[in-house]
Structure 1
Amino acid sequence: MRITIEIETKDLARFHQSLKRSRHVAQEADEADILDAAKQALDSAPLATAPTYVRKRIGGVQRLITMLEDDAWALPAPCRIDVLEALVYFSDPEDLIPDDIEVIGLLDDAIMLELLLRKLAPVLRAYADFCKFRDELAATRPATRHEYAASLARKRDALRARLGRSRRAA
């Protein structure tokens, strides 16, 4: 069965209002603390009993954490704040719908994650391209570590430039 939720502008405003606090926390809090809180929220989330549509969106949280922790990718600061904002919202058990309410407790998290993952789609695509390039590069075994690092840096810089263009266009 497929159920479609239509979110109107006034409803979106509630989500954006709720995100303001998350953005403030993302800018002020220690990144390691936010990552730890997101990992703990993932570990303690009642995913086994959560509906599939919730589980699918929450899977995006792990991708965001992995991307932030990837030193070779080194996500630029403006994009980092956007990702941290999503993690802060997800980690808050008392967001729009408290997470411990069975079946619907993670519904707001799933909706917010869907909105934020759409916003972060260019960043996630760039990161996926970087990971694919890194895997292919490792398979070809560059002659030296310096060549490997230089190739990765060139690819990362090109992908960051692409991100910059997409952010300016938005």
Structure 2
Amino acid sequence: MRITIEIEPKDLTRFQQALQRSRHVAQEADEADILDAAKQALDSAPLATAPSYVRKRIAGVQRLIVMLEDEAWALPTQCRVDVLEALVYFSDPEDLIPDDIEVIGLLDDAIMLELLLRKLAPVLRAYADFCKFREELAAAPPATRQEYAVSLARKRDALRARLGRSGKRAA
């Protein structure tokens, strides 16, 4: 069975307001604390009883955490703020729908993540390209560590430039 959720402008406004509250927390809190809270929320989320749609979206949290923690990628500031806001929202057990409500508790988190993952899609694609390049580079590494670092930095910079050309926030 397929169920489609249509989000009307007034519903979207509610999600944007909730995200705005997360923005304030993200600006005040320590990034390491936000990451720890997101990891704990991920570990304790009642995913076993959650619908498949929810589980798939929640998997995006793990990608966001990995991307934030990747020092070589060094996620640009504005994108970093967007990701931290998403993690703050996800980590809040008392968001629009309290997470402990069986079956639907994570539905709002999944919807918010869908919205944010769509917004961050160009950044996530660039990061995936960066990771692929890094794996290829590791398979046939340059002669020196410095050449390796320079190659990685050039690729990262080229991917960020691509983000800038596409009109997305890259810095």
Report the TM range for the smaller structure's normalisation: over 0.9
Q: Distance in 1 between matches of 2:163 and 2:95?
A: 30
Could you tell me which runs of 5 or more consecutive residues in structure 2 were left unpaired when the two chains were aligned.
Answer: none
User: SS where residue 167 of structure 1 aligns?
Assistant: coil
Match of 1:70 in 2: 70
Equivalent residues in 2 for 1:154-169 (5 A)?
A: 154-165=154-165, 166-167=167-168
User: SS where residue 98 of structure 1 aligns?
Assistant: coil
Q: Are positions 1:136 and 2:136 aligned together?
A: yes
Corresponding letter in the other structure for 2:144: T
Q: Tell me the percent identity.
A: 89
User: SS where residue 47 of structure 2 aligns?
Assistant: coil
Match of 2:27 in 1: 27
Corresponding letter in the other structure for 1:25: V
Q: Distance in 1 between matches of 2:66 and 2:55?
A: 17
Corresponding letter in the other structure for 2:127: Y
Corresponding letter in the other structure for 1:51: P
Equivalent residues in 2 for 1:73-88 (5 A)?
A: 73-88=73-88
Q: Distance in 2 between matches of 1:71 and 1:8?
A: 38
Corresponding letter in the other structure for 1:133: F
TM-score by length of 1: 0.97
TM-score by length of 2: 0.96
Corresponding letter in the other structure for 1:163: L
Q: Using the TM superposition, give the Cα deviation of residue 25 of structure 1 relative to its aligned residue in structure 2, in angstroms.
A: 1.2
Corresponding letter in the other structure for 1:167: K
Q: Using the TM superposition, give the Cα deviation of residue 128 of structure 1 relative to its aligned residue in structure 2, in angstroms.
A: 0.3
- Which 4+ residue blocks in structure 1 deviate beyond 6 angstroms? none
Match of 1:44 in 2: 44
User: SS where residue 13 of structure 1 aligns?
Assistant: helix
Number of residue pairs matched? 168
Q: Deviations over 1:76-96 (max 9, x none)?
A: 111100000100000000000
